[in-house]
Amino acid sequence: MGMTTAERRAHARFPKTFSLETMTEPVGAVARMSGSNLSLGGLYCSSSADFPEMTRLAVTLALPVGTDPGKIQPINAEAVVIRRRKLNSSSGDAGYELGLLFNSMSDMDRERLAR
């Protein structure tokens, strides 16, 4: 019998959507994204800004604290784009779906993310 997707996952997934941002290079503008499918290993997000695969990003995750959706505690991490897919919207705006793999995070932020 084959393993289910949940059994193959190295880390539990956080199913809710949340916001995150990164600084674009070399312009230095803030790119805001909507993230989902978060785990200790990485996340998927949708972005209006395009980042090629293997791009390293410094990201800030805006995650709720406990059950209070109004209380946000940012988590900072470095991630690498490992998947990129262009999305076509009906309005003609280009959007992208990105798979990010965390490659650097403080121990304190990792503990907070695990909670």
pLDDT digits (tens, 9 = 90+) for 43-102: 999 988 889 999 999 999 888 776 676 788 889 999 999 999 998 766 666 689 999 999
Q: Are strands 56-65 and 42-47 parallel, antiparallel or unpaired?
A: unpaired
CA distance 89 to 73: 31
Which of 50, 114, 40, 39 has its CA nearest to residue 83? 50
Which residue segments constitute the domains of the chain, with CATH numbers given? 27-114 (2.40.10.220)
Q: What is the pLDDT of residues 4-24, one digit of tens each?
A: 444 444 556 665 677 888 876
